[in-house]
Structure 1
Amino acid sequence: MSRFLPDRYTLLLIAVVAASSLFPATGQAGDVLKIATIAAISLLFFLHGARLSTAAIVAGAKHVKLHAAILACTFLLFPLLGLGMQAAFPGLLSPALWMGVIFLCLLPSTVQSSIAFTSMARGNVPGAICAATASNLLGTLVTPVLVAFVLHKQGGGSGLADAGRVMLQLLLPFALGSLMRPWIGEWARRNNKLLGKVDRGSILLAVYAAFSAAAAQGVWHSFPPQDMAVLVGINAVLLGVVLFVTARGARLLGFSKEDEITLVFCGSKKSLMSGIPLATVLFGPADMGVIVLPVMLFHQMQLMVCAVMARRYAQREDAAGDAPAAASPRGA
């Protein structure tokens, strides 16, 4: 049953949401929290730039067909599904929650969990490293543009100004971290666990700031409780459809089983680590809590479902490896 329970980090996220809703930071404390959040998110992207190795990415970059399929799922299939569901059932959710769902669909893929599940399932790990990293790098630029284009009529995004803020707060620290990698890359590699805590701490701080501002603005009274159940259902449909399309699409495209696994786990993910920083830059404090709520729910759902799928892929590979050994006595 532990496979289906929230992990420790998700429990921390839930605790932070509860704490920020009960004890929101307002006034001067809210201003200090906003500055601290911007600094923490910039540090997060700086450290990602310092840790990113290029060797494995170069090795996995040659499979253009696989990477194109993953990017198409991330930045084309997901948005089309989200917009289609909103157009077909606009009354299922409030406009703010629909904006959060669409924002979820516009986010890049995850890096760590995509690679971890691909490795667990015996997939193409170098390809997953390349694809997930490329998705995150492109997402820093592509997601703000898509938000400005898709959500502009609904009040989200403001065109080039948003892209400029993203480049200043996220892409510039990442580039500086990459430039510093010859000097601090080895230190970052040795202290990966410590820097992982910095990553998670930055996200927890951003979540507290987001939901604190939402609570101060009375966001939780702006939509009925049953919207939460509907939101869970919409996230489940999104995840289920994308998992089905990626698995079937990989077979139609003639991918190997290893590449199918990579497409399934990289093409179906949405990044909480990138989503909250991007939302911090792209949306106002009053909207942040509702905007990131679909992302947080989808994050936990994708971890639980993909953990089960990765185990089944691995068991299937183990069974296939044992089959010749079992058949050899009969053929002797």
Structure 2
Amino acid sequence: MKLAVYNVENLFDRAKAMNLDSWEEGRPVLEKFAALNGLLGQIHYAPADKVRMVELLRDLGLEKSDTGPFVILRRNRGGLLRRPQAGGIVIEAEGRADWVGSLELRDEPVNEHAMRNTARVMMDLQADVLGVVEAESRPVLAAFNSEILPALGGTPFRHVMLIDGNDERGIDVGLMSGEDYPIGAMRSRVDDRLPSGQPVFSRDCPQFEVTTPGGETLLVLVNHLKSKGYGGTAASNAKRKAQAERIAAIYHELTDHGAAHVAVIGDFNDTPTSAPLAPLLEDTDLQDIFAHPAFDDGGYPGTYGLCNAANKIDYMLLSPSLFDRVRSGGVFRTGMWPGSRPKRWEAYPEVGRKADAGSDHAALWAEIDL
């Protein structure tokens, strides 16, 4: 069985604020979007809240219209605000119950070359079971599978599953598998809560049960942990640590009940020696595929960007029984931008510039005797 994981960074459409030339350009927009969404969701709007809402609406380009360059304010019913002819914004609602609507990020199409290179990676991996990170939705993932892969000569996956998570930006996690690897029972953990009442998982930690042709049961937990680039460092680290602790607890629950073949895969947004990931990497018997003697890292220790050690953020963690059955494994970077001075690896000819890369992330794969 070939198991793989790939952060596709969206398939057809991506939030415009996330599609800028650099993360630093989009980060302020995303942070202000999150702050305004948090204020709009409050039961009661205090005077100071209204002042801050107006500031954020202006910063997001919504002073004169409900459509800004990166954000749309949808007002279906009720009175949230008015814009006097003299200018400015007045928040009229006293709380969330006074209006019906939502604040949404605007999307734009993904670069066509990037989309096709994403498909090429998914085809060339030839995975029996593929964990997918940052896909917009199940209908989008299913359409990509049934339309784009065959158009490039690839074979679609027979099973495609994605459960909507907690992220409003359309970056969820899912699983695709071949004809002989049906997806059985699934479990979402979008409702797991921190003591503060906030969701543990930024997206989800879905658990997929896959049956192999030989009748073995594989449990796959696909993850996308809190990023470093969105919010304060301390808060981001605390969130990521809480997520790692919860995943570790889930893993222990599964193995305590007899599960033997468990894989925890995805983009963890942190390095192996980081404190936030310690509960998962040090306090469980899960083993990183990079540590297997049959694993080939392609000459670079990382999985993101130019793949330096500080960019090792994508993982395939295997329970001991799976790790012992690994026959080979590696990092697939052909769809990534290889740099130019000099090129670090061979990329598809279609990756003529950074924007054409299928993703900034490499895919990980392992052949497992299962």
Q: Could you state the TM-score of these two structures normalised by the residue count of structure 1?
A: 0.31
Q: Which has the higher contact order (CA 8 A, sep 6+)?
A: 1
Q: Could you state the TM-score of these two structures normalised by the residue count of structure 2?
A: 0.29
Q: Which structure has more helix as a fraction of its residues?
A: 1
